[in-house]
A and B are shown apart, each in its own frame.
Chain A
Amino acid sequence: MIELDLRLLKNSNPGDEVGISGNASIARGIMESAVKIVTSYPGTPCAEIIEHLVIVSDDPDFYTEWSINEKVALEVAAAAAMSGKRSAFITKHVGMNVASDSLMHICYAGLNAGMVIISADDPGAFNSPIEEDSRFFARMSEILGLEASNQQEAKDMVVNALEISEKVKLPVFIRLTNRVLYGRGSVVMGKLQNRKYSAQFEKDKSRWFVAGRNAVNRHQWLHGQQTHLKDIVEYSSFNSIDWANQKKYGIIAIGVSYYYAKEALKILTPIKDKISILKLGCFNPLPENLIKMFLKNIEEVIIIEELEPFIEEKVKGLAFEIDKKVKIYGKLTCHLPETDALNTEFVRDVIINLWLNKTDTGSIAYEVQKQAEELNKLIPEQDNTFCPGCPHRASYFVLRESLKIVNQEFIFTNDIGCYMLGVKKPFSFADAVFCMGASIGIGSGLYHAKIKQRIIAIIGDSTFLHAGIPALINCCYTNTDILIYILDNRTIAMTGLQPYPGIGIDAKGNKAKLTKIEDIVKACNVDHLAIIDPFKVNKAKKILARALKMKGQRVVISRKECAQVSRKINKENEKIKTYKIEFRKCKKCKLCILSIACPAILIRNNSFVINKYFCSGCGLCSQICPYGAIILDREK
């Protein structure tokens, strides 16, 4: 996706209006603000920000890294800002959980240059395991929290946040949601600031030694900064009011919800001119005086925000303070959902129900809807979503074959990455999935709880380095009986093929020091370690079966490069080989489809064929076919 905006970012001049994604607009904001250090751990929907920056930025003083996890990433960015260089830390919402420990401490110390934290929330969990509302981290750490409603505002907020951050000596938190990041809109390019910094870390224990009584003093300082933040939000241009002719009804909305409200009012012409809208851009602290003034002028208000009733709870308190009975509707009154992404229909319907006393109609004919639903059920569930040639498919196939040899009962704890798609048929190797690295910790807990089945924890290469190592050490320390199956595809595939220390390539594509997973595993002192190539099925399944039969902490690394990476390399070298099905030999036993569900294998006119545009040439299917009907296509 990133290449789409690169040319526009590179070639546009200040004042040009372009149509770019939210991710690209954030990258532009970072460039315009002369940020020198940007850190992150890859995660959707915000991985593209760094990917834009590493290609577009030609500033020799600009440094960016894919850190090993979000905690380290935040620390690196914060240290830069402590020593006087502007920085940015970018994470998806759940990454804030990992980074929060450092954030709470760093805010006590404060910074010497601007720092912005970009947190990408995913209401609806379209690209995430859960749909957490990360705004609470801004409140917990007592820093300014902003939320952008579109791509232009996202860019402007980055520029403004860095200036505010420098004034108050604290990081500024910007919450973005999937609809802004994974969407396009008009953005006017600003001027690139030309700032030169010289980094300097001044020794000052009263500030940087955050512990004991000193921490209490710094906490007091942090509280003192709240006065400045409150002043800033009252006058921020990111908050505004559209007054209606009649001041009876009101809407308070933040982020993309503001535009859902505007769109709903555009449709609801009978009431359009009777509803005032307070658009918020600042959520922590809230512009309390502005909100109070708004509430004083209306009688009923709907609060629209995505996920938790963060603002609604506060507004209820403010209404009490002004001593006026304002009817407040939202999530707490069950007029809007506390889960899932919002849309215009939600807002339209709540306005209709509350203020127009009507229900909306306009859905398609019931019979047609019914037919479509029936047909939808016919789309086979087993359409495995692993790409053709994916080594995870081969790793799971090998696991299934080796389990046939072992004949024991297992629980499979899985982890975060492409490989979690192993939950689907024909594999079903994910009895539980939680957060990064949890497969090993949860697996260990199940063993110590003495459940009757044995445990297999499945984890990816980068996930292992991110959060799996402490859990593995814990397994060894507590003598857990567990097999850890590390699926090493030599990249961070799920978020767009980013590099990581396991392949010794840095964010800019340059050579870096290599961290070998097997060396770390050995250092943890496991009982057994083996490395397999999942595409050498017979050999791999014997090795894995042996490890499965053993006891203690066993690690099997299934290593093969991601097919997407290989395809890119092959494309450059024009060495793509594909397979075909010899129809005379094919007995139509369906084994190839049922056992690996490769999307390249199709049934056309009652014959089995391989789509040569999809086939990556991995050869897994040819090893499975008992009749030798799948052979290399030498025509291509």
Chain B
Amino acid sequence: MNYNRELLITGPRVYKILEISQIISQASILQGLEVKTAEFTNEPLMFSEIVHIRMGKEIYSPLIIKNKADILVCFEPLLALELVTQYSSSVSMIILNTHSILPFIHQTEQAISIFEQLAEKIIKVDIFQIAKEAGNINKNNFVMLGILDGLNILPIDSVNIIKAVEDIVDQHDIINYVKLIEMGKGSASLF
């Protein structure tokens, strides 16, 4: 079985994608996998954050090679456009948050139509809505983590993701975070 996964996540800072990077890194180690990440802030694009996460065996570089990302998670599709065109391939999966916080709805729709030409599978999800239902709209990044887990596309067992959350977040917040992850996981069964 091929355990190697190349995961690229991008979105404005407000989504706290570095938290997802940290949890997946720690979960990978608990799973017994090698892991490396590279974290960027892209100032010209509204302080977008970009994370390369590489996990599996024989992981050397922290950077994903262009057109080699297996999974691309885009919290704000329009801002992800350049990255997706650089890093996706015809076998990639793109997960899009459809709840844009930008004022450019038309361009966002155009961006999504381009993504559809690039990748094998596109998953569109309103993580704001799911987070709202879970009662914590500000921690919607944990919903996305749940979706990644629920889609069974990471070589990491759910138990290690939860263990990593326990390692990293404050103890009294764990129940809330696990609830968000479970909600995301539940929604993944619809895709």
Q: Which residues of A pack against B, CB within 8 Å?
A: 1, 4-5, 7-8, 11, 17-19, 21, 126-127, 150, 179, 182-186, 256, 259-260, 262-263, 266-267, 343-345, 348, 362-365, 368-369, 371-373, 375-376, 378-380, 383, 385, 421, 599, 602-604, 611, 613-614
Contact = CB atoms under 8 A, between A and B. Distances in A.
A368 B61 contact: no
A345 B66 contact: yes
A4 B66 contact: no
Instruction: Report, nearest first, the 9 A-B pairs whose CB atoms are least far apart.
Output: A19-B25, A263-B61, A262-B60, A602-B103, A372-B85, A263-B60, A259-B60, A4-B22, A184-B37
B61 A8 contact: no
A368 B114 contact: yes
A348 to B, nearest CB: 8
A262 B61 CA distance: 8
A266 B60 contact: yes
B122 interface: no
A21 B37 CA distance: 9
17 contacts: A1-B18, A4-B22, A8-B26, A18-B26, A183-B62, A185-B36, A262-B61, A263-B61, A345-B65, A363-B67, A368-B118, A371-B114, A372-B81, A375-B107, A375-B111, A375-B114, A604-B103
Contacts of B170: 7
A364 B110 CA distance: 18
Contacts of A259: 36, 60-62
Contacts of A379: 45, 78-79, 81, 104, 107
Interface stretch (B27-35, B142-150, B180-188): B27-35
Contacts of B103: 602-604
A267 B4 CA distance: 14
A344 B52 CA distance: 13
B41 interface: yes
Contacts of A378: 104, 107, 110
A19 B22 contact: yes
Interface string B88-118: 1100000000000111110100110010011
A385 B102 CA distance: 13
Contact of B62 (A185, A267, A383): A185
Given A182-B39, A375-B111, A4 B167 contact: no
Contacts of A604: 103, 105
Contacts of A343: 61, 63, 65
Nearest to B66: A345
B118 A182 contact: no
Most chain A CB neighbours (cut-off 10 Å) among B37, B47, B105, B170: B37
B29 A179 contact: no
Contacts of A383: 45-46
B190 to A, nearest CB: 26
A127 B21 CA distance: 20
B167 A7 contact: yes
A371 B84 CA distance: 13
Given A375-B107, A376-B81, A385-B44, A344 B61 contact: yes
A481 B37 CA distance: 50
Interface in B55-80: 58, 60-63, 65-67, 78-79
A369 B118 CA distance: 9
A372 B168 contact: no
A127 B110 CA distance: 31
A11 B35 CA distance: 21
Most chain B CB neighbours (cut-off 10 Å) among A19, A185, A363: A19
Contacts of A256: 61-62
Nearest to A180: B62
B126 interface: no
A379 to B, nearest CB: 6
Most chain A CB neighbours (cut-off 10 Å) among B14, B29, B82, B118: B29
A151 to B, nearest CB: 9
Nearest to B62: A183
B178 interface: no
Nearest to A424: B44
B36 A260 contact: no
B40 interface: yes
B78 A19 contact: no
B133 to A, nearest CB: 17
Nearest to B54: A263
A21 B41 CA distance: 15
Given A19-B26, A256-B62, A379-B78, A186 B67 contact: no
Contacts of A186: 29, 34-35
Nearest to A369: B85
Contact of B168 (A7, A363, A369): A7
Contact of B101 (A5, A263, A363, A611): A611
Given A5-B22, A8-B26, A259-B61, A364 B118 contact: yes
A183 B39 contact: yes
Most chain A CB neighbours (cut-off 10 Å) among B25, B82, B117, B137: B25
B38 interface: yes
Contacts of A183: 36-39, 62
A8 B168 contact: yes
A364 B85 contact: yes
Contacts of A5: 22
Most chain B CB neighbours (cut-off 10 Å) among A380, A421, A599, A604: A599
A125 to B, nearest CB: 11
Given A11-B167, A19-B29, A368-B117, 12 more contacts: A7-B168, A7-B170, A19-B22, A21-B39, A182-B38, A183-B37, A259-B61, A260-B61, A372-B84, A372-B114, A379-B81, A385-B47
Nearest to B32: A17
B74 to A, nearest CB: 13
Contacts of B45: 379, 383
A579 B16 CA distance: 24
Contacts of B46: 383, 385, 599
Given A5-B22, A184-B21, A364 B107 contact: no
Contacts of A603: 103
Contacts of A602: 101-103
A81 B101 CA distance: 51
A259 to B, nearest CB: 4
Contact of B22 (A184, A267, A344, A611): A184
A267 B60 CA distance: 11
B101 A19 contact: no
B167 A364 contact: no
A18 B118 CA distance: 36
Most chain B CB neighbours (cut-off 10 Å) among A7, A184, A604: A184
A17 B28 CA distance: 11
Contacts of A344: 61, 63, 65
B144 to A, nearest CB: 16
A182 B101 CA distance: 26
Nearest to B79: A379
Given A18-B29, A184-B25, A385-B46, A127 B41 contact: yes
Contact of A362 (B67, B78, B138, B169): B67
Nearest to A344: B61
A609 to B, nearest CB: 9
B159 to A, nearest CB: 17
